[in-house]
């Protein structure tokens, strides 16, 4: 597992352990306020577990194993959420939100099949958000404007953090460069998707890579995406250049959600039309659920970016291999 670990040359944390803990709380307090203001969102409580078999849990790429357990009192099987993409849309419907209004929440998940490295942990913590939109707002321009609002919120928090901790000097570019996965493949046809992400983000510093989930002209996918929450033509990932890791850091995955047409099309493409048995999918198909845009913003990734950390384990407590823990300790990376 340590083969995926990157050790920056002469790395030394700018903040002590105690300062880091104070700074993590400060970032989380300030960012959620900035995000709420930028996107007009209310904070709500969200589940850690959902019932097995109700179609609400996120399938991610469709192959990740969920963490599940039986409940003694009811005999039911519960699953730890992998994300809240579907739950949030249902919540907006249940709570009676209208166009222009939305919610955000703290999402904690366990992704047992993720490979750990500097930026990946089996423990996932995000600000999950979702907002009701109109039919007329289901377009690329609205998506881009929302991305710009999120990036502005990140840059605002960066300024606040740098004022409090002047030793943190690495910049974040506020100007977002937009590009589709097909345009990126055309630019770098001989590179892997991860290599393309690194090259384009190194050049432009803050990038939104659009249209993730469907097959490209090469017949390959840039990345996997479940067919029943994002519209693959109206989604994407935000990447920011991480000067400590000398690499692109994905800080958010987001998109305009499927309507009845895109849901049917994407389920068919993935041979997953059996999911139409679930209430969630039926409520999209018949137009009951509101049209929405939403996504997740990595809490620990934002913290490691703003605090100039070399490993996500410096800003969150998780489990790492003995080999990775040892190599980090030998190179001045203190895992919590």
Residue 9 annotated to the active site: no
Query: Catalytic residue among 79, 125, 242, 250, which?
Result: 250
The CA distance from 303 to 111, in Å, is: 20
Residue 190 annotated to the active site: no
Query: Catalytic residue among 82, 83, 253, 300, which?
Result: 253
Residue 274 annotated to the active site: no
Residue 138 annotated to the active site: no
Residue 58 annotated to the active site: yes
Q: What is the 3-state secondary structure (H, E, C) of the chain?
A: CHHHCCCCCCCCCCCCHHHHHHHHHHHHHHHHHHHHHHHCEEECCCCCEEECCCCCCCCCCCCCCCCEEECCCCCCEEEECCCCHHHHHHHHHHHCCCCCCEEEEEEEEECCCCCCCCCCCCEEEEEEEEEECCHHHCCHHHHHHHHHHHHHHHHHHHHHHHHHCCCCCCCCCCCCEEEEHHHHHHHCCCCCHHHHHHHHHHHHCEEEEECCCCECCCCCECCCCCCCCEEEEEEEEEEEEECCCCEEEEEEEEEEECCHHHHHHHHHHCCCHHHHHCHHHHHHHCCCCCCEEEEEEEHHHHHHHHCCCCCHHHCCCCCCCHHHHHHHHHCCCCCC
Query: Catalytic residue among 32, 58, 89, 121, which?
Result: 58
Query: Catalytic residue among 121, 126, 211, 262, which?
Result: 126
Residue 237 annotated to the active site: yes
Query: Catalytic residue among 237, 242, 259, 314, which?
Result: 237
Query: Catalytic residue among 111, 138, 257, 301, which?
Result: 111
Residues labelled as active-site residues: 58, 111, 126, 237, 250, 253
């Amino acid at each position: 597992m340590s083969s995926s670990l990157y050790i920056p040359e002469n790395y030394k944390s700018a903040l002590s352990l105690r300062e880091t803990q104070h700074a993590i709380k400060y970032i989380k307090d300030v960012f959620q306020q900035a995000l709420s203001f930028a996107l007009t969102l209310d904070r709500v409580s969200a589940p850690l577990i959902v019932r097995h078999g109700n179609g609400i849990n996120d399938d991610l790429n469709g192959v990740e194993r969920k963490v599940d357990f039986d409940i003694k009192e009811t005999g039911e099987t519960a699953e730890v959420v992998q994300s809240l993409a579907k739950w949030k849309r249902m919540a907006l419907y249940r709570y009676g939100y209208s166009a222009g209004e939305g919610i955000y929440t703290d999402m904690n998940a366990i992704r047992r099949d993720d490979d750990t490295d500097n930026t990946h942990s089996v423990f996932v913590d995000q600000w999950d958000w979702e907002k009701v939109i109109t039919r007329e707002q289901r377009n690329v321009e609205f998506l881009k404007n929302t991305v710009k609002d999120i990036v502005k919120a990140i840059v605002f928090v960066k300024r606040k953090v740098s004022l409090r901790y002047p030793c943190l000097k690495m910049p974040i570019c506020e100007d977002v460069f937009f590009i589709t996965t097909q345009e990126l493949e055309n630019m770098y046809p001989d590179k892997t998707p991860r290599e393309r992400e690194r090259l384009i983000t190194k050049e432009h510093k803050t990038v939104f890579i659009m249209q993730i989930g469907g097959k490209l002209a090469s017949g390959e996918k840039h990345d996997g995406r479940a067919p029943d929450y994002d519209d693959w033509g109206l989604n994407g990932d935000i990447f920011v250049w991480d000067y400590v890791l000398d690499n692109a850091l994905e800080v958010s995955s987001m998109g305009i959600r499927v309507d009845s047409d895109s849901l049917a099309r994407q389920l068919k493409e993935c041979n997953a039309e059996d999911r139409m048995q679930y209430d969630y999918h039926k409520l999209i198909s018949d137009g009951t659920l509101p049209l929405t845009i939403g996504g997740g913003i990595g809490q620990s990734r934002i913290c490691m970016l703003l605090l100039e950390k070399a490993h996500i384990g410096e800003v969150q407590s998780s489990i790492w291999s003995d080999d990775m823990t040892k190599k980090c300790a030998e190179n001045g990376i203190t895992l919590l």
